Structure 1
Amino acid sequence: MALLGRVAILSLPSGALSEPKLHRQTRNFRASGLSTRSEQLSDTNAKPQYNPGFLDHLFLNLFRNKMAQEIGWDSKKPGYDGLIEVANRLMIGRSNSETREAAVRILKSLFPPLLLELYQMLIAPIGEGKVAAMMVARVTALSCQWLMGPCTVNSVDLPDGSSCASGVFVERCKYLEESKCVGICMNTCKFPTQTFFKDSMGVPLLMEPNFSNYSCQFKFGVLPPLPDDDSSLQEPCLEICPNASRRRAATSDLEALKCPKA
């Protein structure tokens, strides 16, 4: 879920650092508090490496605390593994639409009062929305690598035929890969994040996850299709889904192979 990290830290609860002891290496710490991407291995299947920094731990704990408050439950596992357990729990006992609504509430709770309204009123209209789209793309790429892994700002085509540096390309989404589930990606990340940026910040967003290589393309300034028309919902379960191999062994029906949580 995309966060405007520089602003979200203003609403940091007092217990946000109560999770695992923060580990910091001086050579990886910059003034911003965000670590940088390390060199990738030559193996194309190797996971992109990202070494979390001080602010990354703050953002993770803030986000996890907000999720736990929404659910009324927290995992006993520390760090990112615990976050994934909480994300799974968010879907239990809820319909897909209820899960998406809960995820939107979590995103909104990360921001100080009035900030989202002011952004939508004052920034979103500038330059036909392009300024706001480019701003959130840069903040997303800067502040969300703790959640998604290495990502970069890139240029995307807009509906008016122009192009704009309002995209964010995630090389290999850690959240998708660690959750091992198309449904969790759709209902706790893609759809609620698209809704949040459009409705709360006035910035349209289309997210295009690639379930074959776990990359994801964010396109700020581009309206997404209606959820029922989104081709992502037709995707089969991930190869790494623990339940997918059993379904593939039982049937070759493409409809039956679609993620039941999506």
Structure 2
Amino acid sequence: MKANILNMKISCLNFPQSHYKQMHKFWSFSPFMSHKVVNVANISPNTTTYYDGWFDRIAINHLSHNLQAVAGVKIEKEGYDGLLKTCKVVSLKFNTVQQCQLCIQALERSIPAQFFLLLKTLVPQSKFTREFLALFTGLFFAWLVGPSQLKESEFNGRQEKNVVHIQKCRFLESSNCVGMCTNLCKFPTQKFIKNYLGMPVTMVPNFEDMSCDMVFGVEPPPPDEDPATLQPCFKLCKNGKRHSLRKCS
């Protein structure tokens, strides 16, 4: 990955999270404020427990059902556990290219295409668009990836709030699988946003602390050159295999 991506000068724009700092709990950056997260220190310093509200549950089940439909599988379990089980079945049943394609198809079914076409037509690429998409992502996708913050990065010599910093990705923590992160989230999301909005976005997962940066406006490297594809899976991964992606198309 280019050095200017890895070495971005990023300054953080924090949303109010005083409860998290003092009590190890906070409300996620969600428009309905329904998604409370608690770090349970007496169980494990790395354990995060999520309490999904009504909006979260609707969104989670909607995506899960659409992924099941395009993959031709049926999972009885609902909620985030059901979504996670669906993703695990897909990751074991299909190769890496198929996983990416199925995820894109599920996103196409889940999000009205008219919304993206309208946004792409009315709002061309600009500082406003990049910052709007970063804000929109933080607001409406906390149910999938967990709490996030907006950060600034240097873009064409100017500072923009075009980075969504996911503090500890819920999907990566719950799946504990690098392959599911890259093949069912990172690569299909990058391609989906580029295809429907014409907006490049680079997702940079950190497999040490399970955080992730979504950098809007920056072209991602080719999959075979992306550091994420060279990452072996975690020792505790239940799938127990190395993951890579040849091409997502």
TM over 0.5: yes
The interval holding the TM-score normalised by the smaller chain is 0.7 to 0.9
Change in Cα spacing, 1:45 to 1:124, as seen in structure 2 (3 Å) is: farther
**Alignment partner, residue 188 of structure 1:** 184
Aligned to 1:211: 207
Match of 1:137? Answer: 134
| CA–CA distance in structure 2, aligned partners of residues 260 and 32 of structure 1 | 35
Query: How far does residue 113 in structure 1 lie from its aligned partner after superposition?
Result: 4.0
**1:93 to partner: Cα distance:** 4.0
Query: 1:153: how far off?
Result: 1.4
Deviation (angstroms), 1:165 = 0.5
Aligned: 1:157 with 2:154: yes
SS at match of 1:183: helix
Q: Which amino acid aligns with 2:81?
A: D
What pairs up with 1:6-155 in 2 under 5 angstroms?
32-38=31-37, 45-48=45-48, 50-125=50-125, 129-155=126-152
1:167 corresponds to which residue?
163
What is the CA–CA distance in structure 2 between the aligned matches of 1:87 and 1:39, rounded to whole Å? 24
Amino acid at match of 2:88: N
* 2:216 counterpart letter in structure 1: F
Equivalent residue for 1:232?
A: 228
Instruction: Answer whether contact 2:153 2:163 (CA < 8 A) is retained.
Output: yes
Aligned residues: 216
Structure 1 position 46, deviation (Å): 3.8
Q: Percent identity?
A: 30
- Secondary structure (helix, strand or coil) at the match of 2:106 reads helix
Letter in 2 for 1:115: F
Deviation at 1:37, TM superposition (A): 4.3
Q: Aligned letter for 2:32?
A: G
TM-superposed CA distance for 1:161, in Å, is 2.8
* Corresponding residue SS for 2:135: helix
Which residue number in structure 2 is paired with residue 259 of structure 1?
Answer: 242
Aligned-residue offset at 1:152: 1.4
Give me the whole-angstrom Cα distance separating, in 2, the residues matched to 1:133 and 1:183.
Answer: 28
Q: Distance in 2 between matches of 1:49 and 1:221?
A: 33
Secondary structure, in 3 states, of the residue corresponding to 1:206?
strand
Distance 2:77 2:56 in 1: 18
Contact kept? 2:92, 2:239, Cα under 8 Å: no
Using structure 1 for the length normalisation, give the TM-score: 0.74
Q: Deviations over 1:27-64 (max 9, x none)?
A: x8xx9434254565679934455432221111111111
Q: Is the 8 A contact 1:169 1:215 kept in 2?
A: yes
Cα 1:130–1:80 shift into 2, 3 Å? same
Q: Quick one: which amino acid aligns to residue 153 of structure 1?
A: L
The aligned amino acid for 1:232 is: A
**Separation in 2, partners of 1:124, 1:102:** 28
Partner AA of 1:227 in structure 2:
P
- Residue 114 of structure 1 aligns to a residue in which SS? helix
The answer as to whether partners of 1:204 and 1:221 remain within 8 angstroms in 2 is: yes
Give distance in 1, aligned partners of 2:158 and 2:32: 35
Is the CA contact 1:168–1:217 (under 8 Å) kept in the aligned structure 2? Answer: yes
Measured against aligned partners, the alpha-carbon deviations of 1:85-141 in whole angstroms (never above 9, x if no partner) come to: 11122234433222212111111222224322221122133xxx2222111111111
Q: Which runs of 5+ in 2 are unaligned?
A: 1-26
**Whole-Å Cα distance in 2 between the matches of residues 199 and 74 of structure 1?**
28
